[in-house]
Structure 1
Amino acid sequence: MRIENYIKDLLYRHECVVIPDFGAFLTQRKPAQIHETTHAFYPPKKHLGFNNKLTENDGILINYLSKAEEISYQEAMQQVASFVAQLKTSLREIGKIEFEAIGTFYLEKEEIIFQPSYHHNYLLEAFGTEMYTASKIERSVKTAEEKPAETVSTKVEEKEIPVKKLPEEKRTIPIWRYAAVGIIAIGVSGLVAANWYSNDVKNHNLAEQQKAEKKVEQTIQQATFAIDNPLPEVTFKVHTQKGNYHIVAGAFRLKENAEKKLKQLREQGFPAREIGVNKYGLHQVIYNTFESRTEALQALRTIKNQENQNAWLLVKSLEANSQNHEK
């Protein structure tokens, strides 16, 4: 498998992928956009850039290559060094190198120029989304001339028809209507009385509750508490690890192995901790966490030289950082 393909895999997961002794690919998230003229909708994406000043090995590419090819770290370093040598030779002789789905490198006046590919999106959240153009909606407005002509209505003369008045009869109200009115009046008065009684009960309960609370408050204010043997004060120093740069000591399939590694690192004096399970189901243990990338790379270089050559740098924002408590 070509090293360019490993670089593409890492660009989905990391914000920075360094090719030792050549340069670093940097990604930056960009929101979705709408082109006002063409009405084209572009999904959110990772903008890809390149910095030829960042050439120091951070271990990400070589460590990934070592695991993917099942070779040693030293062999992976040699393959990457050979790959970089071929790149430089091609740039000097041809002046152009193209990485599929990544971009193209040009050599102009001894300076490397990078032109990213705009046809590939390395943002996992936008996987499967593509640019599309919305068609313009045409709206027609009718003018006064286009309005339908008003229909002429013919008036029909209406003739008044005389109505004969019937002889007035003495109107009588049935007795059952009086009974209904009486029942309604009794119901209304009963409802008013019930509401008055309910309100009176609520007011009484509220007043009694306020009295009880006042007595309890007075009792609490008058009470005194004496502790003959107070407990000694215990002071804890809390150290919170902050930052998005973590030096990984190892990833373990079994929880017990991760705990053993964590205990070993803490006995050596490292503020080590476990940061959970990654998407491969492995328990990750780190040496330390740093806010600055420069500090993290310096610490990684020291650990590689003195402790663990397979340690590598993880760039990730953790939602909840673990805390170490010291008495």
Structure 2
Amino acid sequence: MTIAKYISDLLYRYECVIVPNFGGFVSNEISAKVNHFTHTFYAPSKQLTFNSHLKNNDGLLANYIASAENISYLKALEIINKEVESWKSSLKNEEIEVENIGSFTLNKGGNYIFEPTSSTNYLTSSFGLSSYVSPAIKRITYKEKVAQLETIAPILPSEEKKRKTPAFIKYAAAAAIIFALGTLGFKEYQKIEYNNLIVEANQQQQKVEKSIQEATFVISNPLPTITLNLTKETFNYHIIAGAFREPENAEKKLQQLVDKGFDAKILGLNKWNLTQVSYESFNSKNDAINRLNVIKKTESKDAWLLVKEY
């Protein structure tokens, strides 16, 4: 199993995805841009960067893999650690490619050099949009062609031709003026006819609306009313078993609770950078309080209720 697919999935929804013991992929939204040299237009996108200092496990990737593969959280961590070890081993000798994300190399100082892929746009609002090239308008080239044509066959008449205007040109000019006047008169006539049609259409529309308002519709066998009750479950109430500075201690606590039969979870980091572990989570405040009282009596008096608004 490769974890690149799961990292890619999460990058569409989150701005930061951390791979434990390796680093974090951070995305920043950038607006549309144009390359004036290649005349290429690019849609808005997310620009990927890599931060090797973001190594602490926040539970996001492991929880997603566990849910997608229907395996335990600890098994998901084992898969991530195995993949990371494989990456680190390969980087000692060669460049590695993380599918749809980018490539890594190791410099002389032992630091990771990340080159993001340009084929994937993680900005969902730009889904389906691709770059395109619009050729530049070559005004100077066209001017040069016109100048060449004028040299071969001059467009401007000579001085002698300016003094004598042929009779057929005069007649043609007069005919053009008469035709223009006739065209203007016909356009005015069309405008009047169009306005008359609009007025008539509005009158007919008003009659139809009046008839609809006065009509009474009776359905002998009406269809029964269908009521759909859709409820979205959101687990906002969490009974906290503890918060740990070291992620390894949080994972040990999680396994202890799972072995006891609790539907325990790692909730990620709080604002003090402590990893929180819950006994159970509820979408009902009353159920959460009742369960908390039981846990306080049977498991730990230090258990408390965390309320998260999503």
Q: Match for 1:37: what amino acid?
A: F
Which residue of structure 1 aligns with residue 133 of structure 2? Answer: 133
Q: Which of 298, 308, 317 is matched with 2:273 structurally? A: 298
* Amino acid in the other structure paired with 2:77: M
Instruction: Report the Cα distance in structure 1 between the residues aligned to 2:68 and 2:269, rounded to whole angstroms.
Output: 27
Structure 2 residue runs without a partner (length 5+): 168-229, 242-265, 282-307
Q: Deviations over 1:130-152 (max 9, x none)?
A: 11110122344456874342663
Structure 2 CA distance for partners of 1:297 and 1:70, relative to 1, 3 Å: farther
The match for 1:147 is: 155
Q: 1:84 to 1:134 in 2, by over 3 A?
A: same
8 A Cα contact 2:240 2:279, kept in partner: no
* 1:250-287 Cα distance to aligned partner (Å, 9 max, x none): xxxx84864xx54x54999xxxxxxxxxxxxxxxxxx9
Greater Rg by CA: 1
How far residue 76 of structure 1 moved from its aligned partner, in angstroms, is 0.8
Aligned to 1:33: 33
Distance 1:322 1:120 in 2: 33
Alignment of structure 1 residues 159-178 onto 2, 5 Å: none
Conserved? CA contact 1:58–1:297, under 8 Å:
no
CA, structure 1 residues 297+255, in 2 after alignment: closer, same or farther (shift >3 Å)? farther
Distance 1:267 1:83, change over 3 A: closer
For 2:110 and 2:136, the matched residues in 1 are separated by 48
Measured at CA, do residues 322 and 110 of structure 1 come closer, stay the same or move farther in structure 2, by a change above 3 Å? closer
Structure of greater relative contact order (alpha carbons < 8 Å, 6+ residues apart): 1
The aligned amino acid for 2:136 is K
- Within 5 Å, give how 1:1-327 maps onto structure 2: 1-92=1-92, 94-108=93-107, 109-139=109-139, 140-141=142-143, 146-149=154-157, 152-153=164-165, 255=231, 258=234, 261-262=235-236, 265=238, 295-296=270-271, 298-299=273-274, 301=275, 303-304=276-277, 307=279
Q: Which amino acid aligns with 1:16?
A: C
Gap change, CA 1:8 and 1:265, over 3 Å in 2 = closer
Cα deviation, 1:132-185, whole Å, max 9, x if unaligned, reads 110122344456874342663258xxxxxxxxxxxxxxxxxxxxxxxxxxxxxx
Contact kept, 8 Å, 1:45 with 1:121, in 2: the verdict is yes
Q: Percent identity?
A: 34
State the shift of 1:82 in Å.
1.2
CA distance in 2, matches of 1:104, 1:267: 40
Give the 3 Å change call, closer, same or farther, for CA 20–308 of structure 1 in structure 2.
farther
User: 1:89: how far off?
Assistant: 1.5
Distance 1:322 1:15, change over 3 A: closer
**Residue aligned with 2:12, SS:** helix
Measured after TM superposition, the shift of residue 119 of structure 1 is: 2.1
CA distance in 2 between partners of 1:101 and 1:80 (Å): 18
Deviation at 1:322, TM superposition (A): 6.8
8 Å Cα contact 2:12/2:123 also seen in 1: yes
CA distance in 1: counterparts of 2:156 and 2:47, whole angstroms: 57
Q: How far has the Cα of 1:103 moved from its partner?
A: 0.9
How far off is 1:64 after superposition? 0.5
Q: How far apart, in 1, do the equivalents of 2:27 and 2:97 lie? A: 18
Displacement of 1:9 after TM fit? 0.7
- Measured in 1, the distance between the counterparts of 2:18 and 2:239 equals 30
Summarize the Cα distance change of 1:89–1:257 in structure 2 as closer, same or farther, 3 Å threshold.
same
Rounded to whole Å, the distance in 2 between the matches of 1:81 and 1:294 is 20
CA contact (8 A) 2:238 2:280 kept: no
Q: Give the helix-richer structure, 1 or 2.
A: 2
Distance 1:147 1:116, change over 3 A: same
Structure 2 CA distance, aligned partners of 1:4 and 1:106? Answer: 17
Any idea what SS the aligned residue of 2:273 has?
helix
Partner amino acid, structure 1, of 2:62: I
Query: CA separation of 1:295/1:49 partners in 2, compared to 1, >3 Å: closer, same or farther?
Result: same
Aligned mates of 2:240, 2:20 — CA distance in 1: 33
Structure 1, residues 213-246: CA drift from partner, whole Å, max 9, x if none?
xxxxxxxxxxxxxxxxxxxxxxxxxxxxxxxxxx
Distance 1:33 1:256 in 2: 40
Gaps of 5+ in 1: 156-253, 269-286, 310-320
